[in-house]
Amino acid sequence: MYRSHNCGELNASHINKEVTLAGWVQKSRDKGFIVWVDLRDRYGITQLVFDEERTSKDMMEQAQNLGREFVIQVKGTVIERASKNPNIPTGDIEILVSELNILNEAKLPPFTIEDKTDGGEDLRMKYRYLDIRRNPVKNNLIFRHKVTQEVRNYLSQEGFIEVETPYLIKSTPEGARDFVVPSRMNEGQFYALPQSPQTFKQLLMVGGMDKYFQIVKCFRDEDLRADRQPEFTQIDCEMAFIEQEDILNAFEGLTRHLLKEVKGIEIDKFPRIQYDDAMRLYGNDKPDIRFGMEFGELNDVAQHKDFGVFNSAELVVGIAVPGGNSYTRKEIDKLIDWVKRPQVGALGMVYCRCNEDGTFKSSVDKFYDQDDLAKWAEVTGAKAGDLICVLSGDKNKVRAQLSALRMELAERLGLRNPDEFAPLWVMDFPLLEWDEDTERYHAMHHPFTSPKPGQLELLKTDPGAVKANAYDLVLNGNEIGGGSIRIHDKETQSLMFDYLGFTPEEAKAQFGFLMDAFQYGAPPHGGLAFGLDRLVSILGGQETIRDFIAFPKNNAGRDVMIDAPAPIDDTQLSELNLKLNINQ
């Protein structure tokens, strides 16, 4: 065998034992008469020692020529280490090597294989197989495994059945753009890779599986915003004969289990907030509630003077920044520049200092007196020593802008503690949203989402006011899961397709198989899908999903390690009956 032990398990209890180890050379220190080598594998590091008194001349020369990342096997005796290292589990011992076997030499790596490396992100992605040897990436992947195993264990114990669904499916027009796959055996026809197993899990409920889950790859061919991937992993779940409360209880249970088993944290309360309130108080539908800074809408107390910027705005809204009165004018000017960046898009920012003596000093003192500014403080909850930041404009835009500012300020103030976890349910999303470009309604979630009970008739008179029987689970300002109670009868589903602009023929062509299934006794059902990549990264104290994916793609959707996507040759194109028509 190549090894009797791994490089992380030997300690003082093994002294005088003969062992065999194998791994990579982390580094070596050559003093001429003695050579120390750190041998690394997945489990840790063990120090090897070669000295001229006890090591043959040939082996000594071999040891002196070992390079970084050489793959070696050694046999030797565990001895007590003269200079102990309390920072590693094997720090009390070292191996006096009696036999050295070089299994594979290695080129000098393009970056150092250490926790704090000198390699930039692009370089490390190109050599991801080397990056995985580093503890931060290795430990992230092991952590992901642990979370995944806990998910499987919990759901299995709760009676869920893991079922695989197809990757080669039918393209549908809703949601993001599909990745498509040409079919050689069906000329001119294409499969699509699933954006989610939505229709299949509904069919499994029709099939009587009752409780289903799957840890599954999903695919979306969309322009990648920050920290998105074209392929991602969901914990996809569905349940039959349930109502919304059953779903919420089931997946609160899973989330509690993960927080306890993986992080050692127990959380009792999962607060709930209406979508409309989340937008009003935080400016987005996935608010971070680890800190305050709730929005205060100022229209009633700011639009009665001669300040035209506020008077012409649909919404005037502010937040109180705790301790922000200590900011210098230069620091406030930098905040104003920050909100004016194209990524945020504000035209400017009004501010008001809340002085310790109870007075106020604002950038618009010309228009507002002390009584006016006191009302601003009351509405935003500002206290002495705080700073009120105010934005105005179109309601939807200004809420998004102030939300971005709120998160930036929280980051600067150290209010987003990665070791604190604040889950939140966001409830009752709009069922439909109007698209100005196509001049029709689109499903905010997907076309199989049921309206709230009692609101079906409202579809005929005010479609935009109908609420969905849908819910998102938010953790630390990130959506980690979302789902809904599904439509389970053909009539309601047909009505939904009508409001989404499908003709009966289009609905039949795209979703006829699902409509047909509903005619054979579909149970009431609903579910939820967690984003595994995001969930794991947040539990791991980070918000970059790429660090928890073994082989991620860059922001252009490319795998720079294997150089994909790539052209295919003319023979393959011919077999697929395809011709390229690329505009240069």
Structure tokens at 31: 């003093």
Looking up tokens 């790539």 gives: 566
What's the helix, strand, coil split of the chain in %, to 5?
30, 25, 45
Q: Which of 72, 68, 75, 63 has the alpha carbon at shortest distance from 35?
A: 63
Q: How far apart (Å, rounded) are the C-alpha atoms in residues 323 and 317?
A: 19
Looking up tokens 């009431």 gives: 524
Q: How far apart (Å, rounded) are the C-alpha atoms in residues 36 and 83?
A: 12
Strands, E, within 444-583: which ranges? 470-475, 478-485, 525-531
Rounded to an integer, what is the distance from CA 423 to the centroid of its chain?
Answer: 15
Q: How far apart (Å, rounded) are the C-alpha atoms in residues 221 and 226?
A: 15
Structure tokens at 253: 């249970």
- The annotation status of 525 as a binding-site residue, yes or no, is no
Q: How far apart (Å, rounded) are the C-alpha atoms in residues 527 and 163?
A: 15
- The annotation status of 222 as a binding-site residue, yes or no, is yes
Q: In what order do the strands lie in the sheet with 296-297?
A: 296-297, 315-321, 387-393, 350-354, 360-362
- The annotation status of 532 as a binding-site residue, yes or no, is yes
- The annotation status of 246 as a binding-site residue, yes or no, is no
Longest dimension (CA), the chain: 93
> What separation in angstroms does the CA of 208 have from each of 158, 251, 523?
17, 21, 8
- The annotation status of 533 as a binding-site residue, yes or no, is yes
Residue type (1 letter), 442? H
Q: How far apart (Å, rounded) are the C-alpha atoms in residues 110 and 350?
A: 49
Q: How far apart (Å, rounded) are the C-alpha atoms in residues 260 and 271?
A: 18
- The annotation status of 221 as a binding-site residue, yes or no, is yes
- The annotation status of 266 as a binding-site residue, yes or no, is no
Binding annotation for L-aspartate: 174, 220, 445, 486
Which residues are annotated as part of the binding site for ATP? 220-222, 229, 479, 531-534
Can you say which residues are annotated as belonging to the binding site? 174, 220-222, 229, 445, 479, 486, 531-534
